């Protein structure tokens, strides 16, 4: 083990003892003579795996997962003939998988997932006749699946997802007559050709088949009719053709999840009849999710859809050619919470039966040909959180009943034929974050109640209507909104300076109105404003200097007004052309193509002569001594050049971020020379110290390791960039930075209540210092902050390291997400991103960075792989389970083997009582539970368990979005504070909860229970 190094804080402890069998992570046989179990997972170990391990000839279990091992797997491991379990997952191992593993005839579990292995899968693995579990996912493996794997008659679990595997699928692997495969994941590879399962192929034990995101083509395999135990089938994002497999699906009576989206399937009778397929689904009494989006399916939506499983919670028929009316019997699906029928050819009116769906939370009907009025009965859907009926032919007025929707977050009514006025009652939608009423025929003024919606976070769009009057001053309350578009209306009077209070604004469009008077200076001071358009108005006066001085403004349009004055091509104006100033005849300046300003030369000459007569004698008296002193000081200045060069990077960064200057010396004084007594935390990239500045400001100083390699330097720049451009009440704010070639630090406010980690596991005792109300509130804060990063932030961010130690608590116990050192910056493909569209995210390469901390890492990551918002959802799910279980996820792995998700899932649903009772006792240090409160706490804990299991599902596509998670936790928070307003009981839990559909997959990972 001499080739292994470790973090000083995670030393081997008792490994200095002469009795090897007492060493941590070592288990010997009953006689105490032979080491049979070596479990050193998640110990922050580094280095290479030594070939000396081959001397442990009786080793049965080798678990080095979740560390930082690099290099190759030593071929000598093949000499350990007694090995039954090898787990080297989530390291940095590379190279080829050694074919010497073929000698391990007792091997049952082989887990090498989440590394950098490349090359081909060794065909020799096919001779390990005892293998039951193979997990090689999230590597760089390529080529074909070796045909020799067909000899693995004991194989139960095969996961080769997220590699670079190509070629046809080797069906001999699964059709060898005795196959016991239950879980098969070949998703996210590059497999081609048809799925060649012959009719004699028997996959009778198969419960989950994941083939999504490949290049498969041809018809749906007929042999799957033998897979009567199938529960989850996902073939999305391929090129499969033919009619929808009605006869085959009808035999899958246990089916819970059916994903056939984004293929080339057609409906029956020449793509005109959907009825046979929906009739076949009637046999699937456990179906909870159905996704047929993106197939261009034709035909009407049959009324028989109302006979499907009442457990059905999610239907996605987006992007097809379905026509005709929405069938009223759809209201029989009483557990539907997500219904997507957008981008079709639906017509007729919105059926009132939809409003009988009491569990409906998201309704997407956009881009159809629906007509008639917007029914006021929408206000009777209590949990409706998102409504999109844009791009239809709806007419009439906006109903007042939207005010009843206390959970409404998004309301998209744009591009219809709506008329009347904006109902002031919309101002009662206190959770509304998106409001788009653009491209209608709405008239009247903007109600002050609607203008005062401080909850708006993304955008307010009232453009292209017939609105008139002034901009209400209440608009200043929208301090979190990112975009406001009031263009193409008849708004008049002056532009209020109070718009400068909308501090988060990035885009402001007031063009094509009748605004007059000067442009307020305050708008140019908006520090995040990027786009500003006031063209085609009647504005006068000079363009404020603040516009030109802005460091963020990139796109400006002042054209067709009556502005006057001199325009220079400096600052934010340097990239503008004369097109941004057309139609302003009184403007002149240095912009190319603009009229030059003429100066009164006679007047200027006279002023110059007078000044010279005054300045000359003054200089003779006082200036010469100053000049002489300057020459004497010039020599000493030379010796300071080195220090100036060292501070150039700091000054450049500081100029960009615009934060106060705190010198290196001040940080040394504040932290007592970075004394160990002020150390409050350590991590992969450095240490965190607490300190007090001279003005008594308490700070936390995150100092990066002085041996800053490219990875650490990138971490510093990335964290600065994220902290600079994101702002939310649940995200940590930066005070300043200190950057020199030999020293890099980020200065943050010191959180008086420390981290969630310290309060969950206090050093002085066993009990948590937080009660359940506080814990739910903290989780709600975290989810809100993360939802902002994923969906609303100026730059979309994937945190990648969400865990209790990175959640800080201020004076009021408000939670703030911190530590963005390994976060990923995400570019969004479109301006508006669907909350369920993970494909819309594209990430920059961050190879070499760990996507999180052990125990919280999403299984699809592996080390250094691409991150996604679903990975953060997984980490938050682990946190929820950790709070309920009162145990660190690493403790479960060390002592009991499975992940925290697996451990809780094995207790669900019939063996949860001990966990719930323990959680109630543990989470009541500060609150005395009354008899009638016990049930409330029990319900919330059960909801936390279910939500945690949903968020930690193996397949990222089946996890909810962070918006959904935030909504669910906020609902639980509301229930704790006002139980009478939100009833949750064992009989109604599945009907009220937002994620009932996703619980259908909870048994997918139970396939290999016991391993």
pLDDT digits (tens, 9 = 90+) for 438-454: 999 999 999 999 999 88
Strands 190-194 and 215-218, by their bridges, are parallel
pLDDT digits (tens, 9 = 90+) for 50-79: 888 888 989 999 999 878 888 999 999 988
Least confident stretch, 327-331, 606-610, 654-658, 682-686? 654-658
Predicted confidence (pLDDT) at residue 680 exceeds the cutoff of 90: no
CATH code of the domain in which 467 resides: 3.80.10.10
Smallest CA-to-CA distance from 314 within 798, 984, 1000 is with 1000
How much is the pLDDT for 981?
Answer: 43
Predicted confidence (pLDDT) at residue 924 exceeds the cutoff of 70: no
Grade residue 936 by pLDDT with cuts at 50, 70 and 90. Answer: confident
The residue from 750, 783, 809 where one domain ends is 750
How much is the pLDDT for 692?
Answer: 86
Residue 356 lies in a domain: yes
Residue 860 lies in a domain: yes
The stretch 123-142 carries a mean pLDDT of 88
Smallest CA-to-CA distance from 449 within 502, 509, 400, 508 is with 400
Contacts (Cβ under 8 Å, ≥6 apart) of 837: none
The stretch 812-818 carries a mean pLDDT of 88
Question: Is the same domain home to 905 and 931?
Answer: yes
Task: Tell me whether the omega of the peptide bond preceding residue 206 falls within 30 degrees of 0, making it cis.
Answer: no
CATH code of the domain in which 872 resides: 1.10.510.10
How much is the pLDDT for 370?
Answer: 96
Smallest CA-to-CA distance from 114 within 159, 173, 74, 145 is with 159
Question: Is the same domain home to 701 and 781?
Answer: no
Question: Is the same domain home to 708 and 770?
Answer: no
Least confident stretch, 80-94, 784-798, 813-827? 813-827
Residue 545 lies in a domain: yes
Predicted confidence (pLDDT) at residue 1007 exceeds the cutoff of 70: no
Tokens for 259, please give them.
């994903």
Question: Is the same domain home to 492 and 391?
Answer: no
Q: Looking at 614-668, which runs of residues are DSSP E strands?
A: none
**Distance from chain centroid for Cα 779:** 15
pLDDT digits (tens, 9 = 90+) for 287-299: 999 999 999 999 9
pLDDT digits (tens, 9 = 90+) for 461-470: 999 999 999 9
The stretch 109-135 carries a mean pLDDT of 89
How much is the pLDDT for 993?
Answer: 33
Average pLDDT, the chain: 80
Predicted confidence (pLDDT) at residue 255 exceeds the cutoff of 50: yes
The residue from 363, 390, 418 where one domain ends is 418
Least confident stretch, 91-100, 581-590, 649-658, 787-796? 649-658
Grade residue 987 by pLDDT with cuts at 50, 70 and 90. Answer: very low
CB 836 within 8 A of CB 765: no
* Helices H / strands E in the chain, number of each: 20, 56
Question: Is the same domain home to 694 and 783?
Answer: no
Sheet holding 824-828, edge to edge: 796-798, 824-828, 841-843
How much is the pLDDT for 751?
Answer: 85
How much is the pLDDT for 769?
Answer: 67
How much is the pLDDT for 778?
Answer: 93
How much is the pLDDT for 823?
Answer: 54
Residue 666 lies in a domain: yes
Grade residue 768 by pLDDT with cuts at 50, 70 and 90. Answer: low
| Position with higher pLDDT, 792 vs 570 | 570
Q: Give the burial string for 697-710 (b: 16+ CB within 10 Å, else e).
A: eebbbbbbeeebee
- Out of 745-749, 894-898, 978-982, 991-995, the most confident range is 745-749
CB count, 10 Å around CB of 682?
12
Question: Is the same domain home to 785 and 922?
Answer: yes
pLDDT digits (tens, 9 = 90+) for 535-546: 999 999 999 999
CA pair distance 205, 349, nearest whole angstrom: 46
CA pair distance 742, 113, nearest whole angstrom: 37
Question: Is the same domain home to 856 and 881?
Answer: yes
Question: Is the same domain home to 773 and 746?
Answer: no
How much is the pLDDT for 797?
Answer: 81
How much is the pLDDT for 418?
Answer: 96
As annotated, the binding site includes 702
How much is the pLDDT for 996?
Answer: 32
The residue from 750, 775, 808 where one domain ends is 750
Question: Is the same domain home to 796 and 708?
Answer: no
How much is the pLDDT for 233?
Answer: 92
Tokens for 745, please give them.
């630090």
Q: Give the burial string for 172-196 (b: 16+ CB within 10 Å, else e).
A: bbbbbeebebbbbbbbbbebeeebe
| Position with higher pLDDT, 382 vs 604 | 382
CB count, 10 Å around CB of 604?
10
CB 408 within 8 A of CB 385: yes
Tokens for 60, please give them.
């049965």
Strands 562-567 and 586-589, by their bridges, are parallel
Grade residue 270 by pLDDT with cuts at 50, 70 and 90. Answer: very high
CATH code of the domain in which 725 resides: 3.30.200.20
Predicted confidence (pLDDT) at residue 599 exceeds the cutoff of 70: no
How much is the pLDDT for 389?
Answer: 95
Dihedral sign, Cα of residue 855, residue 856, residue 858, residue 864? negative
Residue 934 lies in a domain: yes
Predicted confidence (pLDDT) at residue 487 exceeds the cutoff of 90: yes
The stretch 374-395 carries a mean pLDDT of 91
Grade residue 830 by pLDDT with cuts at 50, 70 and 90. Answer: very low
Number of domains the chain contains = 4
How much is the pLDDT for 468?
Answer: 95
How much is the pLDDT for 850?
Answer: 42
Residue 45 lies in a domain: no
Owning domain of residue 857: 765-1006
Residue 640 lies in a domain: no
Question: Is the same domain home to 769 and 746?
Answer: no
Smallest CA-to-CA distance from 63 within 785, 936, 894 is with 894
Question: Is the same domain home to 573 and 670?
Answer: no
How much is the pLDDT for 602?
Answer: 41
The stretch 755-775 carries a mean pLDDT of 75
As annotated, the binding site for ATP includes 702
Which residues are marked as active site?
801
Residue 171 lies in a domain: no
How much is the pLDDT for 683?
Answer: 59
The stretch 969-975 carries a mean pLDDT of 84
How much is the pLDDT for 625?
Answer: 42
How much is the pLDDT for 431?
Answer: 85
Strands 26-28 and 35-39, by their bridges, are antiparallel
Strands 68-71 and 46-48, by their bridges, are parallel
Question: Is the same domain home to 974 and 873?
Answer: yes
The stretch 856-860 carries a mean pLDDT of 80
């Amino acid at each position: 083990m001499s080739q292994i190094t470790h973090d000083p804080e995670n030393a081997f402890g008792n490994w200095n003892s002469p009795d090897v069998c007492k060493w941590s992570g070592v288990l010997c046989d009953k006689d105490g003579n032979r080491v049979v179990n070596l479990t050193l997972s998640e110990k922050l170990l580094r280095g290479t795996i030594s070939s000396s391990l081959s001397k442990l000839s009786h080793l049965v279990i080798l678990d080095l997962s979740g560390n930082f091992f690099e290099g190759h797997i030593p071929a000598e491991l093949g000499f350990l003939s007694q090995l039954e379990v090898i787990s080297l997952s989530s390291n940095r191992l590379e190279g080829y998988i050694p074919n010497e593993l073929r000698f391990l005839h007792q091997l049952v579990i082989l887990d090498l997932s989440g590394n950098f292995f490349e090359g081909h899968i060794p065909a020799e693995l096919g001779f390990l006749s005892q293998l039951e579990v193979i997990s090689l996912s999230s590597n760089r493996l390529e080529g074909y699946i070796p045909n020799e794997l067909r000899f693995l008659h004991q194989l139960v679990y095969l996961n080769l997802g997220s590699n670079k595997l190509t070629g046809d699928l080797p069906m001999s692997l699964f059709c060898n007559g005795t196959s016991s495969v239950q879980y098969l994941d070949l998703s996210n590879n590059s497999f081609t050709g048809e799925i060649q399962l012959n009719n004699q192929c028997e996959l009778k034990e198969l419960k989950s088949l994941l083939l999504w995101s490949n290049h498969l083509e041809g018809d749906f395999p007929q042999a799957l009719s033998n897979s009567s135990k199938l529960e989850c089938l996902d073939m999305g994002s391929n090129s499969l053709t033919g009619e929808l497999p009605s006869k085959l699906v009808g035999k899958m009576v246990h089916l819970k999840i059916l994903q056939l989206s984004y293929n080339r399937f057609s409906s029956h009778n020449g793509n005109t009849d959907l009825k046979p397929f929906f009739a076949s689904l009637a046999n699937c009494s456990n179906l909870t999710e159905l996704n047929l989006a993106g197939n261009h399916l034709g035909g009407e939506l049959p009324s028989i859809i109302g006979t499907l499983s009442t457990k059905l919670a999610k239907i996605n028929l987006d992007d097809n050619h379905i026509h005709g009316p929405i069938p009223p019997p759809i209201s029989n699906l009483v557990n539907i919470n997500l219904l997507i029928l957008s981008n079709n050819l639906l017509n007729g009116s919105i059926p009132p039966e939809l409003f009988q769906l009491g569990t409906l939370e998201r309704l997407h009907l956009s881009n159809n040909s629906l007509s008639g009025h917007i029914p006021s009965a929408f206000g009777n859907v209590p949990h409706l959180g998102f409504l999109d009926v844009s791009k239809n032919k709806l007419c009439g007025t906006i109903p007042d009943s939207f005010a009843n929707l206390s959970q409404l977050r998004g309301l998209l009514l744009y591009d219809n034929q709506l008329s009347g006025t904006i109902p002031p009652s919309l101002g009662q939608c206190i959770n509304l974050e998106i409001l788009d009423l653009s491209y209608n025929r709405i008239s009247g003024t903007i109600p002050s109640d609607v203008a005062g919606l401080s909850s708006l976070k993304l955008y307010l769009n009232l453009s292209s209507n017939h609105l008139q009057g002034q901009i209400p001053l209440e608009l200043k309350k929208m301090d979190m909104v990112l975009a406001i578009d009031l263009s193409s209306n008849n708004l008049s009077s002056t532009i209020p300076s109070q718009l400068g209070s909308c501090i988060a604004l990035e885009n402001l469009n007031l063009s094509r109105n009748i605004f007059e008077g000067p442009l307020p200076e305050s708008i140019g001071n908006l520090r995040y404003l990027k786009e500003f358009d006031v063209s085609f108005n009647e504005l006068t006066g000079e363009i404020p200097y603040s516009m030109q001085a802005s460091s963020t403004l990139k796109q400006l349009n002042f054209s067709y007004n009556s502005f006057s004055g001199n325009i220079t091509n400096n600052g934010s104006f340097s990239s503008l052309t004369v097109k941004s100033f057309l139609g302003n005849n009184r403007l002149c300046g240095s912009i190319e193509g603009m009229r030059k300003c003429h100066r009164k030369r006679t007047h200027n000459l006279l002023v110059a002569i007078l000044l010279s007569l005054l300045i000359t004698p003054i200089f003779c008296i006082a200036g010469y001594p100053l000049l002489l002193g300057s020459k004497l000081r010039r020599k000493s200045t030379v010796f300071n050049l080195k220090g100036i060069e060292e501070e150039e990077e700091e000054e450049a960064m500081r100029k960009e971020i615009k934060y106060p200057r705190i010198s290196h010396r001040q940080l040394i004084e504040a932290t007592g020379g970075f004394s160990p007594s002020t150390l409050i935390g350590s991590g992969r990239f450095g240490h965190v110290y607490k300190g007090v500045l001279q003005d008594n400001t308490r700070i936390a100083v995150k100092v990066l390791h002085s041996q800053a390699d490219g990875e650490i330097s990138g971490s510093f720049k990335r964290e600065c960039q994220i902290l600079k451009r994101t702002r939310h009440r649940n995200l940590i704010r930066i005070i300043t930075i200190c950057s020199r070639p030999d020293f890099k630090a980020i200065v943050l406010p010191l959180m008086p209540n420390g981290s969630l980690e310290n309060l969950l596991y206090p050093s002085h005792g066993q009990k948590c210092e937080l009660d359940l109300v506080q814990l739910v509130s903290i989780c709600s804060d975290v989810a809100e902050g993360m939802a902002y990063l994923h969906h609303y932030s100026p730059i979309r961010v994937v945190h990648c390291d969400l865990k209790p130690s990175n959640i800080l608590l201020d004076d009021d116990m408000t939670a703030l997400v911190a530590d963005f050192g390994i976060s990923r910056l995400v570019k969004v493909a479109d301006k508006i991103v669907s909350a369920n569209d993970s494909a819309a995210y594209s990430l920059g390469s961050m190879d070499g960075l760990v996507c999180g901390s052990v125990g919280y890492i999403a299984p699809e990551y592996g080390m250094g792989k691409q991150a996604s918002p679903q990975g953060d959802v997984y980490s938050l799910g682990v946190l929820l389970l950790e709070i309920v279980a009162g145990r660190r996820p690493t403790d479960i792995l060390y002592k009991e083997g499975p992940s925290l998700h697996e451990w809780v899932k094995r207790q669900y649903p019939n063996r949860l009582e001990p966990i719930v009772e323990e959680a109630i006792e543990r989470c009541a240090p500060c609150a005395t539970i009354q008899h009638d409160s016990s049930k409330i706490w029990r319900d919330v804990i059960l909801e936390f368990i279910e939500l945690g299991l949903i968020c930690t599902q193996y397949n990222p596509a089946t996890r909810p979005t962070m918006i959904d998670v935030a909504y669910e936790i906020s609902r639980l928070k509301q229930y704790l504070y006002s139980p009478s307003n939100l009833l949750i009981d064992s009989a109604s839990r599945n009907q009220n909860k937002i994620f009932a559909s996703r619980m259908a997959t909870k048994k997918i990972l139970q396939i290999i229970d016991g391993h």
